[in-house]
Amino acid sequence: MIEHIAFDIVYGENDSPVVTLRVLTPADPLRFIAEPVMQGATVLLMGLHAQDLQPNVVGMSNLMVIARAVMEGMELDGLVIKGAVRSTEANPGHRPRDIWFSRCIRPAHGA
């Protein structure tokens, strides 16, 4: 499934540390904005916000596929989503829990 996911990172046009992650999926293109912070081979996506999406459009299983594609494409061992404080919908004023993803690195054949 991740072979059907493509992404690119659009860096801010000014000194802002916030970037846009454009994700092309078989269903629809998606856009996420966040401030990436590297910690070793793990990236923390601070204040992640999905743009132009209705609530619960992506879902956890699709988010996992996107995270796997990003980790493999950027050769990361982990990805942590630290969502933005919610302004609408469920629990306005609260930040959602962190979501951790780690890449499964398979041993070489015959190892």
Domains of the chain: 2-102 (3.40.630)
Question: How high is the pLDDT of residue 82?
Answer: 92
Question: How high is the pLDDT of residue 52?
Answer: 65
The burial of 109, by beta-carbon neighbours within 10 Å (0-12 exposed, 13-18 middle, 19 or more buried), is given as: exposed
Cα separation, 64 vs 66, in Å, equals: 5
* Residue spans of the chain under pLDDT 50: none
Question: How high is the pLDDT of residue 62?
Answer: 83
Q: CB within 8 A of 75, min separation 6: which ones?
A: 41
The burial of 107, by beta-carbon neighbours within 10 Å (0-12 exposed, 13-18 middle, 19 or more buried), is given as: exposed
> Considering only CA atoms, which of 46, 44, 102 is closest in space to residue 72?
102
Question: How high is the pLDDT of residue 68?
Answer: 92
Question: How high is the pLDDT of residue 25?
Answer: 84
